[in-house]
Each structure stands twice: as structure tokens, then as C-alpha cells.
A and B are shown apart, each in its own frame.
Chain A
């Protein structure tokens, strides 16, 4: 399978599988068929079957992964666009984000520790609510396993997208702004895309939640871990 070790072939496979997975989700409309998750799983299976190491794939993958950092910088544009809205409602948004951020990091850490997870796993779980590039950077800075974080973040996003609005309704959180904000806070980009489907208002607030919780988690997660003695 020497041909499969070629960078161009591996990149083409990555583009092709992702495109196919996205088409599949469009046709079926099933949010569970997340293209990111499907592509990761398919590639892992393919590499295992073909006997190609991750290191070999990473030579090609680095060309794609490289764009993560500029993509986070680009989130500065929607942050700027929502700035007026955020400023007008600054206190309610900021305080609910702060509460959500601290509860999110602290609860996942405490539960995982009580259930006997290892230190590396606990650190990798800590930034689970925020958008993957940010979560992976936070994880890396604190000494966790970024790829484990990536997998968990996708799962969290899927959970939020599928069950998020149900959970909120059960708890009588019915205000569209509050719903959007908490979906974005808890389940980042995947949840935000679900909120966008429900309406512009939900989507706009979800992206505020996605950006602000990313920021707060980057700033506060190391502190929360320190306080909890991890």
C-alpha cells in the first residue's frame, strides 16, 4: 500500500471522505451523521486496515491542521459584528457565560476524578464545551492530550445539537436568547449550527456563547484546575 502513503493521495482521501460525509448528512438530514466524526472514524479505519501509521498520515494532515489557528483568529470578525448586541446586554450575557464556563470545567473535572479517570484524561476533558481549535489549544497548554479533547468536543457538540433544546425546555428555559446562548456555550459550533436552523436569533446568540465561552475557558480553565488541585 505504498501509494497510500503519498501526501497528495492522503489529502485527496481526506477531502473526498469529508465531502461524501457532508452530502450524506444533507440527504438524510440526520444531525447524528456529523461529517467531522464520520471522516475521522472512516480515516482511522482506513489507516488501520491499510497498515499506515498516524505519523505518515500526519505529514499530509499538517497541511490541513495548520489552518486551525488562523480560523480562531477569524472568529474576531463575528465577535466584532456582535459587539453592539453583547455590550447592550453585557451583564446578563457575561454572568451567565461565567457561570456556565466555571460549572462546565469544574463539574466535568470533579465527576471524572470521582470516577477514577487519570490526570491526563481529566485535563483533556476540562475544555470540552468550547470549539475544538480553542479546546485543543487549551488542552495542549495545560498538558493534556489534544486529540482526546478533539474527540470529546465533537461528542459534546453532537449531544448538545441533538438533546440541547429538549433539556432546556424540560427546565423551562424558553427565552430564545437564553436558549441560543446556552446551546452555543455548552456545545460550540455543532450546537450553533443546530441553533442557526431554528432561527437567526437563536443562531446569533449561540455564536456569542460559542465565542465568549471559548475565550473564558481559555482564560479560566487553568485557574479552575489549579483551584481543584489537578
Chain B
């Protein structure tokens, strides 16, 4: 458990370090994700060294964003005021993403 935490937090800390050093506009967690995948790929660490912790984190990922979602109560006014632009932009754009991604992949496959 301690080793699992050390690896995952180590990757995250590396991301924080890169962001701090370069001021780059990429979340530290994304850099940590890439580092973790790279370390696994290079066999520098074994999958079972992080498996339990990573399964736990991924399967509960939805739950972790309940508190930031609750912060929505601070912005109810904005949503009420801009409900139509938000709803239309979101629905139309999501349909476009589905079609563009699926169509491009289907055409290019093989």
C-alpha cells in the first residue's frame, strides 16, 4: 500500500515539479499520468506495484468530484442567466464530436 502510494504520488509530484519549473499550462496530474504509463512501459515498475491503488482510484473517480460539483451552489445565478447558450452549445457540440470522431475513425480504419 505504501509502495503504491509512493509511486502514484511520486508521479504526481514529478508533474508538480515540471509545472513549477517550466510554468507550463498542462495539469500536473496529466504529466504524472504520462510518466506512470511510461514507467510501466519501460518495465521500470511492475503493474502489480500500483494495481490495487490505481483500480481503487479509477473505479471511484466519479465520487471524488462530488465536492467540487457541490460548489455549483455558488454559481446557480450564472447557470440560470445563461442556461440557453450553455444547453444549446453543449448538446450540439457533443453530437458533432460523436459524429466527427466516429466517422473519421470508420473511414480511416484498415
1/0 per residue, CB under 8 A from B, across A154-185: the answer is 11100110001001100101110111011101
Total chain B interface residues with beta-carbon distance under 8 A: 69
* Chain A CB within 8 A of B21 CB: no
* Chain B CB within 8 A of A203 CB: no
Which residues from B are CB-within-8-Å of A219? 26
Are A61 and B73 within 8 A (Cβ)?
no
Chain A: number of interface residues, binned into ranges:
35 or more
Are B101 and A182 within 8 A (Cβ)?
yes
Residues of B near any A CB (own CB < 8 A): 8-9, 11-12, 15, 25-30, 32-37, 40-41, 47, 50-51, 53-54, 57-58, 60-75, 78-79, 82, 84-86, 88-106, 108-109
Which residues from B are CB-within-8-Å of A138? 27
The number of residue pairs between A and B whose CB atoms lie closer than 8 Å in the complex comes to 311
A79 to B36, CA, bound (A): 9
Main secondary structure of the interface of B (DSSP, over half): helix
Which residues from B are CB-within-8-Å of A164? 98
Which residues from A are CB-within-8-Å of B109? 89, 92, 175, 177-178
CB distance from A54 to the nearest CB of B (A): 5
* Chain B CB within 8 A of A204 CB: no
Are B36 and A77 within 8 A (Cβ)?
yes
